[in-house]
Amino acid sequence: MNFDKELDVRGLVCPLPILRTKKSLADMTTGQVLKIAATDPGATIDFQVFAEQTGNELLSLSETTGEFIFYMKKK
């Protein structure tokens, strides 16, 4: 998937991945896509809730060997 910006929050636990994502999205324009790499198992639910609460669109999430990749589109 194409993305405009990448954020590495591997090794960080809640709430830091969400806080860093919020900051990164603030610097982006509407329609741009942010790729996020995380290792916190709780991130899957955290990012789904974050997307619902903020109106940003969670385009995709996947897991491979303990690493979670999210693609989020800025509202």
Catalytic residue among 3, 5, 12, 14: 14
Strand arrangement, sheet containing 5-9: 5-9, 33-38, 67-73, 57-64
Nearest to 73 by CA among 13, 2, 14: 2
Q: How far apart are CA 4 and CA 16, in angstroms?
A: 21
User: In the annotation, is 67 catalytic?
Assistant: no
Say how many residues make up the chain: 75
Query: What amino acid positions are annotated as catalytic residues?
Result: 14
